[in-house]
Amino acid sequence: MGGAGFGGFADVFGDIFGDIFGAAGAAGARQRSNVYRGADLRYAMDVTLEQAASGFETQIRVPSWENCDTCGGTGAKPGTKPQVCRTCGGNGNVRIQQGFFSIQQTCPHCHGSGKVVSDPCSGCEGVGRVKRNKTLEVRIPAGIDDGMRIRSAGNGEPGVNGGPPGDLYVEIRLRPHDVFKRDGDDLHCEVPVSMPTAALGGRIGVPTLNGQAEIELPEGTQTGKVFRLRGKGIRGVRSNVPGDLYCHLVVETPVRLTDKQKQLLLELDALLKDPKHSPQTKSFMDRVKDFFQ
Ligand SMILES: [Zn+2]
Ligand SMILES: [Zn+2]
């Protein structure tokens, strides 16, 4: 495909900062009252967390408008020519008198183009352009996040009556991940750990975006304990250093126990009667007692 290469997206890094803050000004440039900038186009792109973290290149198919081959863009049937609009004399505007006021309006006959096509081209129905699709190469920068937009200048809809074209915006939609939740540059994940491991401590494997890591659980690790793995998050598009990975431990109560396992737990429970083994429970019971007195 006569792809536009990266040309249209070469300013991605420059634009993205402005766009993130909604500063993409490009308010419709109106030289004349009947000259309009083309509408912007939006393209929603679903992105996985892994893709967002590392950045990637892809191709997208977007609508584009080309001059009609049949009429060469005039909109007039081959062999005929567009005529100067008689209503406005070719300047695209008409003045109408309303009481004391003279109001300038876009010519209702030619819609501002100043020309009328009496014998429209069959290839484009008199518009002069035909809609096609084109392929654009898109470079998604590493660290991109949900809701961010990348602007490709000039790849929107064509302008009206010679106005500049609109822009194309690629809007990023981050897909939910099975393991990680993203919060800016940081990642969070829940790591289940068995009751005995939590009590005895030891090394456990935890996932990171670039492979397995290990953390050392101290003895008596409680559920909800958070371990931070520095730098194992995502380096955002505006960040110099990557964020962190927070592993939230969840101590899992064993289920579907056999009779023997139940028996052992009962024996263990009997050996844990000393409140020093369950300081949270003791503290809670003390507060409840105070509350009722
Ligand atoms: Zn045509
Ligand atoms: Zn006119």
Nearest ligand to the CA of 119 is: 1
Between the CA of 126 and the centroid of ligand 2 the distance, in Å, is: 15
Lowest mean pLDDT among 57-66, 195-204, 215-224: 57-66
pLDDT at 28 over 70: no
Q: Which residues surround ligand 1, an ion (CB under 5 A)?
A: 68, 70-71, 121, 123-124
Query: What pLDDT does residue 255 have?
Result: 97
User: What is the rounded average pLDDT of the residues 107-118?
Assistant: 87
Q: How far is the CA of 214 from the centre of ligand 2 (A)?
A: 74
Instruction: Determine the Cα–Cα distance for residues 190 and 248; give it in Å rounded to an integer.
Output: 5
Tens of pLDDT along 50-102? Answer: 999 999 999 999 988 888 888 888 889 988 988 999 999 988 888 888 788 88
Distance (Å) from CA 252 to ligand 1 centroid: 70
pTM score, whole prediction: 0.73
* Distance between Cα 120 and ligand 2 center (Å): 16
Mean pLDDT of 117-142: 90
Q: Over 50: is that where the pLDDT of 10 sits? A: no
pLDDT tens string 250-288:
999 999 999 999 999 999 999 999 989 998 888 998 999
Considering every ligand atom shown, identify the ligand nearest to the alpha carbon of residue 109 and give its number.
Answer: 2
**What is the distance in A from the centroid of ligand 1 to the CA of 235?**
50
Residue 5 has pLDDT above 60, yes or no: no
pLDDT band at 25 (very low <50, low <70, confident <90, very high): very low
Instruction: Point out the ligand nearest to the CA of residue 71.
Output: 1
Proximal ligand: closest to the CA of 105? 2
Query: CA dist 167 to 25, 158, 203, Å?
Result: 11, 9, 52
* Nearest ligand, measured from the Cα of 114: 2
Task: Specify which of 26-30, 113-117, 207-211 reaches the highest per-range mean pLDDT.
Answer: 207-211
Query: In the chain, what are the domains?
Result: 7-68+129-174 (2.60.260.20), 177-255 (2.60.260.20), 259-293 (no CATH)
Query: Ligand 1 mean position to 153 CA, how many Å?
Result: 26
Pairing assessment for the beta strands 168-174 and 41-47 based on DSSP bridges: parallel
CB 139 within 8 A of CB 12: yes
Q: Decide: 245 and 235 in contact? Cβ < 8 Å.
A: no
Q: What pLDDT score does 152 carry?
A: 92
